[in-house]
Amino acid sequence: MVWVVASDLHGSLTWTQRLFDACEAEQASHLLLLGDLLYHGPRNPLPDGYDPSEVAELLNRNAESIMAIRGNCDAEVDSMVLNFPLMESAFLMLDNRRFVCTHGHKFNDEQLPPLGAHDVLLFGHTHVYRLEKRDGFFVMNPGSVSLPKLDRPHTYLVYRDGRCSIKDFGGGLLESLELE
> Average pLDDT over the chain, rounded to whole?
96
Q: Round to the nearest angstrom and report the end-to-end CA distance of the chain.
A: 18
List Cβ neighbours of 84 (8 Å cut-off, separation of 6 or more).
59, 60, 63, 66, 67, 68
Domain ranges of the chain: 2-178
Domain 2-178: CATH class, spelled out: alpha beta
pLDDT tens sequence across 4-48: 999 999 999 999 999 999 999 999 999 999 999 999 888 889 999
79: exposed, middle or buried (C-beta count within 10 Å: 0-12, 13-18, 19+)? Answer: middle
Please tell me the distance from the alpha carbon of residue 2 to that of residue 24, in angstroms, as a whole number: 11
**The model's pTM:** 0.97
What pLDDT does residue 42 have? 86
What's the rounded Cα separation, in Å, for the pair 58 and 54? Answer: 6
- Sign of CA pseudo-dihedral 165, 129, 23, 29: positive
